[in-house]
Amino acid sequence: MWLEIDLARAGAEVRAGARGSRGEQTAPHSLGPDLDAEALSRFAVAVRAAAARGRPLAAGLLDTAQALQRAVLDGGIDPLRARLAEAAGGPLLVRLGLHDLELQAVPWEALCKPGEAMGFWASSPDLLPVRGVTTDEPWQPRAVRGALRLLAVAPTGSAGLAVLRSALAERIDAGEIEWLDPIEGPAASVSGLFDRLRREPIPHVLHFLGHGGQQGGAPVLRLADNDDGDETWLPVELLAQQLKASLRGFLRLIVLEACEGARPTVFASAAELLARAGADAVVAHLWPVKANVARTCSTELYRALAGASRSKGDIAAAMNEARRAMLGAFEGSAEAFSPVVYLRGPDGVLFDFKGRKITAPAPHPAAKPAARGLDPALARLLGKPFSLLLGDRFRGQRPVLSGFRDKLHKELVKASVPASPALPMSAIAQRFALHRGVTRLDAEFQKTFRDGAPPPPFVEVLAGFVGPGAHTTLLRHPWLELAVAEKHPERTIYVIQPGEEGLLMLCREAGGEGWEELDTPPTTIDPEQEIVLFRPYGGYTPERVFARPRLTEDDYQLSLRDLDGALPRDLANAVLSTLSYRPALLLGMSMVTGHHRLMLHRLYPRGVPRGSLAVLDPEDAERGLWEKGSGLPGKGEGVEVIESPVEDFAEGLEGDGGS
C-alpha cells in the first residue's frame, strides 16, 4: 500500500492532489494563500537556519509545520490516507511528487501532526515519506545472501572516509556490511571511477562524499583534480548511464553526502537523476551538515537498513529510524530534516535478506593485538582503535603538583592575599595570576617543572598501544609525544597545543627524526593512518621549548574554545569527531577535580563513547561516580571501570601487544 501526493505550482499558488495504490484519487486543491510558493520558501529558509544553528523548530515555525500538514492532507487526502493505512496494517509509504525545483527545496519531511511537538513525518512510525521519481523500468528487491557491499567514493581525501568507516564499524565487524576498498583522492578520476565500476566485487551501495555543482543548468559532481591541478566535474547524467550499464541489477542505493561547502540543492536534483536512471533509491542532504550529524545519520541508516535484526532492507523505514535517532541525539535539532530519500519504485524495500548468512570478517588491520591475561574489558578496548585521554592525577605526579601549589600559596600569603590552603590549585593559580601576574606564574612553573619529575615509566609502555587517531594528554611535559614518536617511527604525528598567538601545531613526518613547527596547519588529517596528540593544558613542547601552560580557572574555561576557530574546519571536524566516536581509555582522571570534569564535557559534549574504560586508583574511591555517570557529559550514562594504580596497570601491558 502506498499514497502518492502530487505537489505543484500554479503561479504563486501551490496545489496538492493524491492517488492511492488501489486506484483512488482526489482532485487537486490549493494549500491556501497563507501557504503559497513564497511562504513555503520562507519556511524552507527558516528550517535550514534552525538546522545551521543545531536548534529545534521554534514555536512559530512548528505552527507552520502543523498548518502545512493540515493543508496538504485537506481535500479528501486525509481520509484516503486513513483507509490505505488501515489496509496496510503497518507504516504507509507516502510518495511526494515534486516537479518544481523550488518545491524540492522545501523540507516536506518536517510536516508535523497538529497537537504533537514531535509528530514529524520525518520520524513518524506510521508514515514513511519519500520523494517519488517516475520510471517505467520494473524492479524488485535485490537478494543479498551475505554482507551488504558498500563502495565509498571520496575525491577530496580520506578524512570523510575515516568518519564513515568508523560510523559503520559495528556493522562491518558483525559481517552485515562489507567495506570495499574505497576510491579516494587521485584515484577518484573519471577513468578511475568508471574502471572500478566495471570490476568485481560489484557494490550494492555507492556512498559519495564530496561536492556538487551545476554546469549549463545540469548537475555535476566534483571528482579528483586533473594532473594540471584543474577541477574535474562529472555530469551526473553520464554517471547515471555508467551505473546503469555496469551495475544493472546490483546497485540499489546511492548516498550523496554533502560536506561543508557543497551545494545540496544541486545534490537533490542529482539524486532525482540518479534515481531515475541509475539506482532504485538515492539519499541526499538538503543542506550541509556537521560531521557528527552526518556520522549519526550514516550509523543509524545502515544499522536499520542492513542490521541482522532486520528482516527487510527498507530504505524508507530505515531513514525514518535514522531521523528519529538524530532528533533524539541532537535534542530535536532541525538537522534531522536534512537527509531525504528519492525512491524510484512503489516500495521502499531494496534488499531481500531472506536466507542471509552473516560471517564476521577478520579484525580491523589497524587494531592492536589484545594483551594476554588482561581484564576482559581492557582487552576488548585494546583490540580495536581507541582514543587515549591521559590525565595528570597519578601518584608519581602528586608530590610535584602539591609542591607547586604550596609554593604559590606561600607567595600569596607573603603578599597578604587571602587564599585558603584548602583551595584547589586552579583557584590558587588564578589568584596568583591576578595579583602577581601571568609572567611570574610562568616563572614559578618553570622552576618547579623543568626538572621537577622524571617521566612516569608507564608512559613508554602505553605509547606502544596508541594507534592512529586523536588522543589527548593533560601532562605539561611532552613525555607521551616523545614516547609515541619513538614507538611509531612509521607514522606521521601531529601535536596541537595552545601557544602565545592561537594554537601551536608541530609535526613529525613519518620516517623523520625532528619536529617542525607548522606555519599553517594542514587542511585535514587521516585518522586511520596519522596520529594527532592534543595538549589542551600546554607546557613544554616535544622540542622541549616552554609554551605558557594552562593553570588558572580562566585558562581551563577557555582551553578548548580555540580549536574550532583556529584550525581548518575539516581538520577540526576530523579531530573532534574521531574523539566522539571511538571508545576512550581514561587514565589519571578524577571526577572530583573540576577541570577534569570540564575537559570531559569539552571533548565529549554528547557523552563519552560507548565501550570506553576508566582506570582509577583505588585510593580515590570514585568507582561509583564513574559507573553511574555522575558528572559525565551526555545523558548520564556511566563507563566501565578498572581499579588499579596506573603503575600496576602498565606492568600488565608490558611486553603484550605494544610495539
Instruction: Confirm whether 72 is domain-assigned.
Output: yes
- Regarding whether 198 and 165 lie in a shared domain, the answer is yes
Instruction: Confirm whether 371 is domain-assigned.
Output: no
- Regarding whether 408 and 391 lie in a shared domain, the answer is no
Out of 3-12, 239-248, 601-610, the most confident range is: 3-12
In the predicted model, is pLDDT for residue 611 greater than 50? yes
The 10 Å CB-count burial string (b at 16+, else e) for 340-358 is bbbbbbebbbbbbbeebee
Q: Which of 284-288, 448-452, 474-478, 501-505 has the lowest mean pLDDT?
A: 448-452
> Residue range 9-28: average pLDDT?
95
657 pLDDT band, cuts 50/70/90, is: very low
Last residue of a domain, one of 77, 106, 132: 132
> What is the biggest distance separating any 2 CA atoms in the chain, rounded to whole angstroms?
91
- Regarding whether 587 and 492 lie in a shared domain, the answer is yes
Q: Using an 8 Å Cβ cutoff, are 595 and 400 in contact?
A: no
Report pLDDT for 168: 85
> Residue range 291-306: average pLDDT?
85
The residue among 291 and 47 whose pLDDT is bigger is 47
> Residue range 564-572: average pLDDT?
67
What average pLDDT does the structure give for the chain? 85
In the predicted model, is pLDDT for residue 229 greater than 80? no
> Residue range 500-513: average pLDDT?
86
> Residue range 384-405: average pLDDT?
82
- Regarding whether 526 and 433 lie in a shared domain, the answer is no
- Regarding whether 98 and 161 lie in a shared domain, the answer is no
- Regarding whether 492 and 620 lie in a shared domain, the answer is yes
In the predicted model, is pLDDT for residue 658 greater than 50? no
Q: Using an 8 Å Cβ cutoff, are 603 and 577 in contact?
A: no
Last residue of a domain, one of 132, 159, 177: 132
Report pLDDT for 613: 93
Question: Who's near 73: CB < 8 A, 6+ residues apart?
Answer: 81
- Regarding whether 517 and 594 lie in a shared domain, the answer is yes
- Regarding whether 198 and 103 lie in a shared domain, the answer is no
The cell 539524486 sits on which residue?
271
Query: Position 32: which residue type?
Result: G
Distance CA 626, CA 606 (A): 16
Q: Which of 148-157, 429-438, 515-524, 565-574 has the lowest mean pLDDT?
A: 565-574
Question: Which residues span the domain enclosing 424?
Answer: 398-449
561 pLDDT band, cuts 50/70/90, is: low
In the predicted model, is pLDDT for residue 547 greater than 50? yes
Distances in whole angstroms, Cα of residue 18 to Cα of each of 4, 77, 94, 133, 498: 5, 6, 10, 15, 60
Distance CA 312, CA 316 (A): 11
321 pLDDT band, cuts 50/70/90, is: very high
Report pLDDT for 370: 44
Query: Phi/psi class of residue 240: alpha, beta or left (left: φ > 0; alpha: ψ in -120 to 50)?
Result: alpha
Residue 626 grid cell: 564513574
Instruction: Confirm whether 513 is domain-assigned.
Output: yes
121 pLDDT band, cuts 50/70/90, is: very high
Instruction: Confirm whether 217 is domain-assigned.
Output: yes
In the predicted model, is pLDDT for residue 153 greater than 90? yes
**Percent of the chain predicted with pLDDT > 90:** 37
Can you list the alpha helix ranges (DSSP code H) found in 227-314? 236-247, 264-277, 291-306
Helix, strand, coil percentages for the chain (3-state, nearest 5): 40, 20, 40
Last residue of a domain, one of 114, 132, 150: 132
The cell 574523539 sits on which residue?
579
List pLDDT tens digits, range 25-82: 999 999 999 999 999 999 999 999 999 999 999 999 999 999 999 999 999 999 999 9
- Regarding whether 624 and 482 lie in a shared domain, the answer is yes
569 pLDDT band, cuts 50/70/90, is: low
List pLDDT tens digits, range 169-215: 888 888 888 999 899 888 888 988 998 888 878 899 999 988 877 88
Instruction: Confirm whether 625 is domain-assigned.
Output: yes
Domain count, the chain: 4
Cα 546 to chain centroid, rounded = 34
**Percent of the chain predicted with pLDDT > 70:** 88
Instruction: Confirm whether 367 is domain-assigned.
Output: no
In the predicted model, is pLDDT for residue 323 greater than 80? yes
Handedness of CA 45, 51, 53, 55 (dihedral sign): positive
559 pLDDT band, cuts 50/70/90, is: low
Report pLDDT for 2: 95
> Residue range 471-486: average pLDDT?
92
Q: In a 3-state reduction of DSSP, which class is residue 602?
A: helix
Report pLDDT for 564: 57
Report pLDDT for 365: 42
Report pLDDT for 136: 65
262 pLDDT band, cuts 50/70/90, is: very low
Report pLDDT for 157: 66
Instruction: Confirm whether 214 is domain-assigned.
Output: yes
Q: In a 3-state reduction of DSSP, which class is residue 37?
A: helix
- Regarding whether 414 and 542 lie in a shared domain, the answer is no
- Regarding whether 512 and 415 lie in a shared domain, the answer is no
In the predicted model, is pLDDT for residue 259 greater than 50? no
- Regarding whether 215 and 329 lie in a shared domain, the answer is yes
Report pLDDT for 131: 94
Instruction: Confirm whether 222 is domain-assigned.
Output: yes
Handedness of CA 464, 469, 473, 476 (dihedral sign): positive
In the predicted model, is pLDDT for residue 371 greater than 70? no
List pLDDT tens digits, range 82-98: 999 999 999 999 999 99
Report pLDDT for 61: 96
Distance CA 152, CA 203 (A): 9
